[in-house]
Amino acid sequence: MKLAVFDCDGTLIDGQAAICEAMEATFAAFDLAAPARPVIRRAVGLSLPQAMRALLPESDEAQQHAMADTYKQAFRQARTEGRVSQPLFEGVREMLEDLVGAGWTLAVATGMSDRGLAHCLANNGIAELFVSLQTADRHPSKPHPAMLEQALFEAGAQASEAVMIGDTVYDMTMAKAAYVRAVGVDWGYHHPEELRAAGAEFVAETPAQLTARLLA
């Protein structure tokens, strides 16, 4: 068994514009000035209440959950109106297909919702490549290892047989907590230096480079 568990947004797909727009709409709904987009992007990967806490540290838990609900509504409305774009990063489809062809099992562990992840994977035609989909709807936020541990269980893999691949320090820290190898990608939301400091054994510059490393 060789199991590759991927983060989604920032690793497989590029959804930053839709995320920033929904977050800006959320802050506006609460008559608050939205953080700058680079700040918003740094919170991607956390579950929504935790992201709100990171973006608005002075808020209380009730406000964080209220803002998370408003964000979900803003994102759904944008999707309904056809304003959400979540394309795969260039080379990701080929990377996933090459790994499956080489006998790897694939899974996802993401701060997205079940509904959001299913929609994203289906729209990009890659849903059938994954044997396990773990989201924030059923687990604590990253970097808690619950999502990764459940992916291991559903895939029938041991921690020593798996690798967590992501673009944020939350992914790297989650991997360490689950005793799984951590590999970063530098086309997402956190800098390569941060990923290495958080435990990444390698940071790939392209999906092709990541494939070559895993298949070496």
The residues annotated as belonging to the active site are 7, 9
Q: Are 20 and 9 in contact (CB under 8 A)?
A: no
Neighbours of 81 (CB within 10 A): 8
- CA nearest to 106, candidates 213, 8, 204: 8
Q: State the sign of the Cα–Cα–Cα–Cα dihedral 94, 199, 7, 160.
A: positive
Q: How far is Cα 138 from Cα 118, in angstroms, rounded to an integer?
A: 14
Sheet holding 130-134, edge to edge: 130-134, 105-109, 3-6, 162-166, 181-185, 202-204
- CA nearest to 148, candidates 112, 108, 184, 117: 108
127: DSSP letter = G
- In the chain, the amino acid numbered 210 is L
